[in-house]
Chain A
Amino acid sequence: MRIVTVRRLSQALFFAVFTWFCIVTTQGTEWWQLRGWPVNLFLRLDPLVAIGTILSTHRLYAPLLWALLTVVLTIIFGRFFCGWLCPFGSLHQFIGFLGNRKKPLAKRVQLNKYRKAQCIKYFFLIFFLVSTALPVAGWVSLQSGLLDPICLITRSVNLTLLPIVDSITGTISATPRFYEGAYLVLAVFFASVFLNLLIPRFYCRFICPLGALFAILSRFAIWRIGKNTSECSNCKLCEQACEGGCEPASQIKISECVLCFNCLDSCKDNVISYEAVPSLGGEVTSPNVSRRGFILSVASGVFAVPAVRLTGWLADNWPHKLIRPPGALSEEEFLKRCIKCGQCMRICPTNVLQPTGMEMGLEALWTPVLNNRIGTSGCQLNCTACGYICPTSAIRPITLSEKLGLGEYAEAGPIRMGTAFVDRSRCLPWAMDKPCIVCEENCPLSPKAIYTQEVFNTVRDGTLTVKKISANTIETIEKIMQPGKFATGDYYCAAGDVQRAKIISNTENSIEIAPNAIHGETLSKGSKINVQVRLQRPYVDIEKCIGCGVCEHECPVSGKRAIRVSAEGESRSPERKIVLES
């Protein structure tokens, strides 16, 4: 079998595996849903994730040890990951092939020639690594996930493509999925994919920081592509489909070679081979990074984090709407680990976990945040899925006992994501004298963190004058009641210090009350009665509330909710607590 056929099979296989893992990351009982598949496989094999978190935390989180395999294989064989395994790279190669296959040979050679701008990807890599590694003013931030191809394609497929397919076919998730600001994720994805029509593997050649990392790692690769004779017919057939743009016909740029083997396959004279001896055409083994470019990218990396932190997002000006999932590390530690892959938002059964937009600071872009207005029901009490899927432990894998503060965690108490606040200017029982308490009803804790206090309020124009009393009916002089309005079981008739009586029904000038409630002798013609509504007004017990947001999700004031969670009181930032321990 031709080597390029094997390579294509490998690419197709890994692309299929990647797609399959995206699909099965769905909660449910079907065979094609979550069944213990290693859905983080590609993120674990990605050494940029491992090295990034090592630089920021000085630890190698256990599952990321898989990256060592990729690193060692790359050191020995070169950039096999780019050419054989990377699902994003395979996609680029396929689109580039479709877009350019009908162009004449000379044009294709021209498209696939080496360009100086290919050094830009190294600038990105240096920028990310420096901002992750150097604690300028004690601040570091892991931002490589923005452009890391595995994070990018994982995020794009899970948060945009699958939900769009699902909204059309309705087959994957039980209820439609929504992701706020997903268009930005999709725009980056589409831009990367369609740039292949301009230059094949545009992203891989110019942008990919992971490719840049592999390029550096392959500096001492034992086997390389090269010419086994210094002379050849110079037909350029080898360069017409060169995926890396590494010019195998002349001096091959080893760091740019993605091991696509197209050169080897297309050479009619078998001049090109993959061997341990250096190319007889000569080779350039190191990336072409100018000193100026290097200094520029280091300097950008040094200043980037301090620059964005000048907003005070991690100090007193912290964004209170940034409600992190249960088990999330303190914000500073969280930003050292989160790679914006979106796996937590994908697995979240209720869809409450959302990609953060720009409004919470540039650093937090596409990191997980709870938006209780989206999804099926706030953060589900009996669920810890996000921590278990998080590939870097930015969200710790907590047990249910730890989340709920049971057993050995009883003293520490439950993990709080924030605190719910009743907005009394919008709440129906507080502001509009309408019964409601949907929030109380849905509070999942036992005992509930939302409790109510009963009040009876006289309704507008509810003070009436008695005209006549007979049996259970009070006739009033005024004829101003809307018939049936007070018949809901929530309205009462009060008079002086007499026991209130429940109203059964009313006409415009009479009220029927529950039997044996008010007696004729206590009321007479001319007495004043008050029509009152019974209200249960909600209060949040701040010592119990964990900020799960189910109340906010269910609040019938559907625009700006009348009960809203904000991040005060979250367990991960003790300095943000608002009440003293009792």
Chain B
Amino acid sequence: MRLRRLSLRSLLRGAAICAALTVPGKAAFAQGQDRAPQYFQSDIQYGAQIFTSQCTSCHGENGDMIPGVNFRAGQFKRVISDNDLRFTITNGVPGTAMQPFTFGASELTGIVSYLRNMGSFNARGLLMGNATRGKVLFDGAGNCVSCHAINGRGPRVAPDLGDIGTLRTAELIHRTLLDPAGSMLPANRPVHAVTRDGTVINGRRLNEDTYTVQLIDEQEHLVSLTKKDLREYTVLKSTPMPSYKDKFSSQELADLEAYLLSLRGVK
């Protein structure tokens, strides 16, 4: 297998984009809590798209076609918490027309966010992203492929984004594209180490404990370091990933987000 040679800058840029895009997409609330403390606009919009394509045939555009259920009014039959909503959507309701849906975590977050905010959500003016156009941007003008792989095709120093649509919510992807440094999550911070003999190692951290750190370096080597053997060790909070806030129009951002959300891994 031939290893691609990459510059530090491109590696770090890749790591940074990964940083922004590959943190596990856990729900914004923990098990047992009733509602997320905050629902984000991008998640609500994503949920609106899914609702329109998957749910309106039974529930209607206003979510009020099932007797006893009115989503816009916040009226449910058997739902108390957001987890209840997720459970009902995932498992269906036996004996009714409500079938189980196999949505990923990001989709569930979107649908729940939309259902909780349907009463105040205004679909007019909603930018619908086009994943096909988004892929063109990802491969071309966005230059994302210089750092990110998709299902094994591309460099390894940054996380593979092939399943990013299942790992990250729409809101987190949106925020990352606009402000990659501000939204970089701790799990994705690049590291810089200098050994006692002066060897410099830059890379993306894969694991760390009190005594050791494991990383993939610029040459795509898996490296395990013992901290006591290091002269310097820094977890960086900056990122070379560019912001796309001024680079792309709102429609282009929506397209790119739609493409990233469409990446669900190898089936």
The answer on A and B forming one complex is no
B interface vs A, CB < 8 Å? none
